Amino acid sequence: MAEAGVLVARIWGIKETRRRYLLLDAGMTSLLRPALYGARHPVLPLYEGGEEEVYDLAGPACESGDVLAREVRLPRPREGDALAIPEAGAYGSSMALTYLDTPRPLELLWTGEGWEVLRRREPLERFFEGES
């Protein structure tokens, strides 16, 4: 099951401190294993870029543990480029969190003939339904 799933994340930006980070729209709320267990997943660029550099992949939560991968060698991306993180099938959907009011991601299935929506991305309004 793990090999059947791929998490696709968009790059929101690049942050350079003493380390170089790619800031992603997916993180520990979409794929908890790296933060929880230190698990390592492959990372594949879904873009063509220039010279390769080394990055840490950080999610959108303001948490030091919201890192999907460390020291990944990738071509230099632009904002909006996407990455694929394979081997997420057994872990993404079943462990996805709504921590910090983060909607669970859209979940698709390739049937061999086309895409089927298994779960739509949750609307932000869902998090405020119980509020008065």
Give whole-number Cα distances, 5 to 84, 106, 126, in Å.
10, 13, 26
Residue type at position 90? A
Give whole-number Cα distances, 100 to 7, 61, 63, 87, 116, in Å.
20, 7, 10, 25, 28
Q: Is 62 a catalytic residue?
A: yes
| CA–CA separation, 104 and 124 (whole Å) | 10
Nearest alpha-carbon partner for 44 in 77, 13, 17, 2: 77
Please identify which of the residues 62, 94, 112, 129 carries the catalytic annotation.
62
Instruction: Give catalytic residues, as residue numbers.
Output: 62
